[in-house]
Amino acid sequence: MTITVPLQIIDLHGDGYHPLVEIKVNEAPYILVLDTGASKTAFDYDTLEQSGAAIVASERLSTGLGVTNMSSSTAVINEIQIGNFLITDFEVAVLDLSTINVAYRQLNHPEVLGVLGGDILVKYSAVIDYGNKVLIFNT
């Protein structure tokens, strides 16, 4: 089965583009950056904590986001809905992603919950169609 989800492509004012996708986490609406360079889907610690999700400290160090390592946590999300596509009981990394939202606010872009990473994109054989501004999942 193929599920097509719309993308919003935002201009970073001369510094490239980011594709955004609207999601629901346990029925609450959020926005994620589609990040093919992120190995795992990651949500912002403060935002997720405010939602009441159970966050668990992880012994793994995360790499990326311009640093060599940072402490991370994880959370198992009961429901992630991307368009009509529902993912249940999925573990995400939980990191301090506040710097992303600071930058987005400065550029007048919407704040994001985090990044949709390679773990979901690979597992569901996702295809990104920039021309038609859609993300296609093959389930």
pLDDT in tens, 114-137: 999 999 999 999 999 999 999 999
Kindly tell me if the per-residue pLDDT of 52 is higher than 80.
no
Is the pLDDT at 57 greater than 60? The verdict is yes
Supply the range of the domain harboring residue 103.
Answer: 2-138
| Contact of 28 with 47, CB cutoff 8 Å | no
Q: How many structural domains are present in the chain? A: 1
Q: In the prediction, which pLDDT does 65 show? A: 46
Among the ranges given (14-18, 22-26, 50-54, 124-128), the one the predictor scored with the smallest mean pLDDT: 50-54
Name the token pair of 42: 């990651």
Is the sign of the CA dihedral 31, 34, 40, 45 positive or negative? negative
Helix (H) or strand (E) holding 69: strand 67-82
Q: The whole model's pTM is what?
A: 0.86
Residue 128 sits in a domain whose CATH number is: 2.40.70.10
DSSP one-letter code for 117? -
Cβ of 96: how many Cβ atoms within 10 Å?
14
